[in-house]
């Protein structure tokens, strides 16, 4: 059959499976989309199903459109009658068809995230809820998170008055939505699940219709999505699930990798078909990925391979600093261009968004076009713009845009009506908003007092201390620290805090590079850095992105940066003992590369405005040595320090030749001018190229490169 031409034996076996539930364990680059679409085409062409009798679920609209495009290219069918779409899209379609049974108006509207937040704020105002105590965005996460677990307000356990009040708001929010005939995104799935659960006639109708249910990216399903699929499948229908437990990286969004094991048990699936032949990467890259992921327990297990050649070894670079790391990457990118590799075929990956600033600065300085994929450039991020707005207003009271951005952030009870009155007053007296605010009373005058207080406190401080003081006393840092205590907001808040700390790093480095190190000069620098550097859609440009954003993409060359313990794997996962998902994330990063892969880490990196010494990621030790080509001597300083690097280290008292490693021994007490007293717990290498591990009383355990670290015996 023409449909099956070009499929390998495992792909063909998956496509031709008899009508029973199956799990297709599809490795990275193994052609899973082709298998999924060919399976649908095969079922239709062999008469086992009609187009309207198939339900295919994807996670993005882009994926569902691609599936329809491929299908219509394979078969002369009209896609209008097919049920192919995202969970939310399919549930919306079902609710539209059965709005009465779902207790919805025929013209019910869907609230996007912004509309939902506005609805919650409006409700809380009616309920006289203190927004300081119950931030609306936190309530939004509370409501959506519980719905995605399949819980209504009355089903949420509340052990204390605070949670009970949140449950009350949740219940009133649902009642308000019902009155107004609107649903939010999480309501679409929950309402549809409840409809099928309680209405046996409707459930049996769809079970009879959809004999074949196909699911893409099954490892990303959450508990409610799996329950919805089980309802539709019933006792007789077949679920054809395609996924990869080794690429399950969205636990923070509610994805449950355990759904794959549950599927095997609940549907008594005995034969798991593994798609292990990779059509993307060279052999050495795949061997590295296989070796790394083998350290994860409880895998379903597979081993990627290719009939292409082994290719190049993986290049590993140990930098002296994060600036050196960025400089090395720029040099390699320029060399790749000379070799004929387009910038568009190169990706720079990092674990945390905050890492992009140093890379962006190096790329701008080198005149290399880049595009931040799935995110914002550093100086365009919300929290950075908030911090800069405080600094701009303190520097220039006439800056109305800065005032409008921060007058009620963090929330201080200054509402829209108060701001309108302020603008009216400014127009009437032809003054700035700040001058108008100075004439106002109440909470507006308290804001003016805050700005004046900040302005007075920073008068004689150096730039890094100015920024640190403003982050602390404006309430910005405290705002995101409070959000971090909320489980649903923890990850986002941590990223924002990391970005604020990176702003402090940027200021610290600016002081030691610029001729004019004042606040005005720094704000000008920030404006220029946030200018039109990001490439347009049609321009040949590098891709910068987090590893999470890279899933599903592929590139000729990939740089995985910042491979230090505590950064990747992230410290939170180390502290919680949950490194498995971080390892899956590293697996995803490695398998984005087709031909060339670089791994880089730095001996020292600026964090919180200070140089911190780290050690190489444990993931590097999990890669076979035979696959690696070290561009720097293993565990030695990366290369002779450049003038920029020396300035960077000297600025923090970190640059000075040290005694050779042979003079230090485990158990010896030492003193470091940044970290204080400590005890040596390990010595590595010889001569001045060595490094020591020191357990500091107040700074914890750190590896220090002796080429730069000033240590004295105590």
DSSP string over 482-528: HHHTSGGGHHHHHHHHHHHHHHHHHHHHHHHH-S--SHHHHHHHHHH
CA distance 681 to 665: 8
Q: Look up 157 and say whether it is catalytic.
A: no
Which of 432, 377, 439, 444 shows the shortest CA–CA distance to 406?
444
Give the dihedral of Cα atoms 626, 632, 638, 640; nearest 10 deg: 170
DSSP helix/strand/coil, 128: coil
Q: Which two tokens stand for residue 313?
A: 């070894």
Which of 85, 87, 557, 600 shows the shortest CA–CA distance to 337?
557
CA distance 566 to 617: 8
Distance linking the first and last C-alpha atoms of the chain: 80
Which of 50, 107, 110, 105 shows the shortest CA–CA distance to 83?
50
Can you give the pLDDT at residue 636?
39
CA distances from 335 to 42, 331, 569, 699 (A): 47, 6, 29, 40
Task: Name the strand (E) or helix (H) holding 610.
Answer: strand 610-613
Intervals of the chain under pLDDT 70: 1, 486-488, 515, 528-538, 608-609, 634-663, 673-674, 685-689, 699, 706-710, 714
Can you give the pLDDT at residue 486?
67
Q: Look up 335 and say whether it is catalytic.
A: no
Report angle CA 142, 144, 150 to the nearest 5 degrees. 105
CA distance 541 to 650: 34
Q: In degrees rounded to 5, what are phi and psi of residue 156?
A: -80, 125
Q: Look up 435 and say whether it is catalytic.
A: no
Q: Which of 138, 217, 332, 345 is catalytic?
A: 217
CA distance 554 to 568: 20
Can you give the pLDDT at residue 663?
63
How would you classify residue 431: left for phi > 0, otherwise alpha for psi between -120 and 50, otherwise beta?
Answer: beta
The number of angstroms, rounded, from the C-alpha of 58 to the middle of its chain's C-alpha atoms is 20
Q: Tell me the pairing of strands 610-613 and 593-607.
A: antiparallel
CA distance 560 to 547: 9
State yes or no: cis peptide before 698, omega within 30 of 0: no
Residue 65's contacts (CB-CB under 8 Å, 6 or more residues apart) are none
CA distance 42 to 205: 24
Q: In degrees rounded to 5, what are phi and psi of residue 34?
A: -65, -40
Sign of CA dihedral 338, 344, 348, 354: positive
Can you give the pLDDT at residue 230?
94
Q: What is the pLDDT of residues 1-23, one digit of tens each?
A: 678 888 999 999 999 999 889 99
Q: Which of 280, 377, 583, 592 is catalytic?
A: 592
Q: Which two tokens stand for residue 472?
A: 């602390």
DSSP helix/strand/coil, 39: helix
Q: Look up 217 and say whether it is catalytic.
A: yes
Report angle CA 473, 478, 481 to the nearest 5 degrees. 155
* 101 burial type by CB count under 10 A (0-12 exposed, 13-18 middle, 19+ buried): middle
Can you give the pLDDT at residue 694?
84
Q: Look up 216 and say whether it is catalytic.
A: yes
Can you give the pLDDT at residue 647?
47
Sign of CA dihedral 134, 137, 142, 147: positive
Q: Which of 11, 140, 207, 247 is catalytic?
A: 247
Strand partners of residue 605:
612
Which of 112, 117, 109, 180 shows the shortest CA–CA distance to 143?
117
Q: Which of 138, 148, 187, 216 is catalytic?
A: 216
Can you give the pLDDT at residue 442?
84
Can you give the pLDDT at residue 578?
83
DSSP 186-237: HHHHHHHHHHHHH-HHHHHHHHHH-SEEEESSGGG--HHHHHHHHHHHTTT-
CA distances from 333 to 238, 329, 539, 648 (A): 48, 6, 16, 23
Contact indicator for 393, 403 with CB cutoff of 8 Å: yes
Q: Which of 12, 16, 33, 385 is catalytic?
A: 33
What's the longest Cα–Cα distance across the chain? 83
318-336 burial, b for 16+ CB within 10 Å, e for fewer?
A: bbbbbbbbbbbbbebbeeb
Q: Look up 72 and say whether it is catalytic.
A: no
How many beta carbons lie within 10 A of that of residue 133, not counting itself?
9
């Amino acid at each position: 059959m023409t449909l099956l031409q070009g499929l390998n034996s495992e792909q063909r076996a998956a496509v031709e499976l008899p009508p029973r539930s199956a799990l297709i364990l599809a490795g990275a680059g193994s052609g899973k989309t082709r298998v999924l679409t060919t399976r649908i085409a095969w079922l239709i062409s062999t008469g086992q199903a009609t187009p309207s009798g198939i339900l295919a679920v994807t996670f993005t609209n882009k994926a569902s459109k691609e599936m329809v495009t491929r299908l219509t290219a394979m078969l002369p069918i009209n896609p209008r009658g097919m049920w192919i779409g995202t969970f939310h899209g399919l549930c919306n379609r079902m609710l539209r068809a059965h709005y009465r049974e779902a207790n919805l108006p025929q013209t019910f509207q869907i609230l996007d995230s912004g509309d939902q937040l506005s609805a919650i704020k409006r409700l809380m105002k009616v309920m006289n809820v203190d927004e300081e105590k119950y931030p609306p965005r936190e309530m939004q996460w509370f409501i959506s998170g519980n719905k995605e677990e399949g819980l209504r307000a009355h089903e949420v356990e509340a052990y204390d008055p605070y949670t009970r009040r949140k449950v009350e708001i949740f219940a009133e929010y649902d009642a308000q939505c019902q009155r107004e005939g609107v649903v939010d995104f999480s309501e679409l799935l929950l309402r549809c699940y409840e409809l099928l659960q309680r209405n046996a006639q409707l459930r049996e109708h769809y079970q009879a219709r959809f004999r074949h249910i196909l699911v893409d990216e099954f490892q990303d399903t959450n508990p409610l999505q799996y329950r919805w699929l089980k309802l539709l499948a019933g006792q007789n229908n077949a679920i054809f699930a395609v996924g990869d437990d080794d690429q399950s990286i969205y636990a923070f969004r509610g994805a449950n990798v355990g759904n794959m094991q549950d599927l095997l048990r609940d549907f008594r699936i005995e034969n798991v078909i593994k798609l292990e032949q990779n059509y993307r990467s060279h052999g050495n890259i795949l061997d590295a990925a296989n070796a790394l992921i083998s350290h994860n327990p409880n895998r379903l297990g597979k081993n990627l391979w290719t009939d292409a050649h082994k290719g190049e070894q993986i290049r590993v670079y140990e930098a002296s600093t994060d600036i050196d790391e960025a400089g090395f990457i720029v040099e390699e990118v320029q060399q790749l261009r000379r070799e004929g590799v387009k910038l568009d075929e190169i990706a720079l990956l990092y674990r945390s968004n905050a890492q992009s600033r140093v890379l962006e600065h190096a790329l701008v300085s080198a005149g290399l076009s880049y595009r931040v994929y799935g995110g914002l450039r550093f100086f365009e991020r919300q929290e950075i713009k908030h911090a800069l707005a405080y600094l701009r207003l303190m520097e220039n009271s006439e800056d109305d845009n800065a005032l409008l951005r921060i007058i009620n952030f963090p929330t201080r009870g200054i509402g829209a009506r108060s701001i309108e009155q302020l603008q009216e007053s400014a127009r009437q007296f032809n003054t700035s908003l700040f001058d108008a605010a100075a004439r106002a009373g109440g909470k507006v005058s308290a804001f003016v007092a805050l700005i004046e207080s900040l302005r007075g406190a920073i008068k004689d401080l150096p730039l890094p201390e100015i920024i640190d003081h403003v982050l602390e006393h404006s309430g910005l840092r405290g705002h995101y620290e409070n959000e971090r205590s909320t489980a649903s907001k923890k990850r986002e808040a941590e990223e924002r805090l990391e970005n604020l700390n990176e702003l402090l790093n940027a200021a610290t480095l600016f002081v030691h590079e610029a001729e004019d190190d004042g606040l005005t000069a720094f704000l000008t620098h920030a404006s220029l850095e946030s200018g039109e550097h990001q490439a347009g859609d049609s321009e040949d440009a590098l891709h910068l992105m987090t590893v999470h954003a890279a899933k599903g993409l592929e590139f000729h060359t990939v740089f995985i940066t910042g491979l230090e313990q505590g950064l990747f794997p992230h410290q939170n996962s180390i502290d919680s003992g949950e490194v498995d998902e971080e390892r899956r994330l590293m697996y995803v990063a490695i398998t984005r590369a087709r031909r060339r892969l670089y791994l880089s880490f730095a001996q020292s990196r600026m964090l919180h405005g200070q140089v911190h010494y780290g050690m190489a990621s444990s993931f590097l030790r999990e890669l076979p040595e035979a696959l690696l080509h070290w561009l720097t001597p293993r565990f030695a300083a990366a290369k002779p320090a450049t003038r920029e690097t020396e300035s960077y280290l000297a600025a923090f008292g970190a640059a000075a030749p040290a005694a050779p490693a042979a003079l230090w021994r485990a158990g010896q007490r030492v003193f470091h001018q940044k970290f204080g007293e400590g005890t040596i717990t390990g010595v590595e290498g010889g001569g001045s190229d060595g490094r020591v591990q020191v357990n500091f009383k107040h700074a914890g355990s750190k590896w220090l490169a002796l080429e730069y670290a000033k240590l004295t015996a105590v």
